[in-house]
A = this chain, B = another copy of it.
């Protein structure tokens, strides 16, 4: 900072706060945990539970999901192929901003297309961890937490992932969790173990 008044033509000096500064202060590395999977697979639930576990360890963490993104940032997007791609792109860009702030950032969206997820991976680079929340369609449909499968089967929702639109399974996910087999606590442990293995948590 300047230490005397300069009323004009100021070249202001400042040492910007870097991502590394923030990570040091937080005591952990930044990351983008990209949860992907069918509707009802438990992405958002798992992301929230991991967030709670991380918060209890004094980590800085945030979850982007339908609740806070669909009605805000992406409220002008529909469900056309272009809009779906733009939806995921914006989420990927915002996740990068949060990670730049030193935050362990999670995104919980079906994100059914490999190409869109790969774009999100490109945006965040090495910080990106793809977590495939794998659960059999039959299990997701039996849970039907939001009643969407019923509507999709009745033809009320066109292009519903898993029913009338494809889910492209990840080929190189950093982690695969199976919420049909393991309970929530176990799935959280698997995510935390990955974060430790990758040196995001110490």
Binding site for B on A (CB under 8 A): 1-12, 14-17, 21-22, 25, 42, 45, 48-49, 51-52, 55, 58, 60-62, 64, 68-69, 72-73, 76, 86, 90, 93-94, 96-98, 100-101, 103, 123, 139, 142-143, 145, 179-186, 188
Contacts and interface: CB of A to CB of B under 8 A. Distances in A.
A143 B10 contact: yes
Contacts of A188: 1
Nearest to A185: B1
Tell me how many chains of this kind the complex includes. 2
Contacts of A69: 97
Nearest to A76: B86
Contact of A55 (B12, B25, B185): B25
Given A3-B185, A9-B143, A15 B52 contact: yes
A121 to B, nearest CB: 15
Given A1-B184, A184-B1, A42 B12 contact: yes
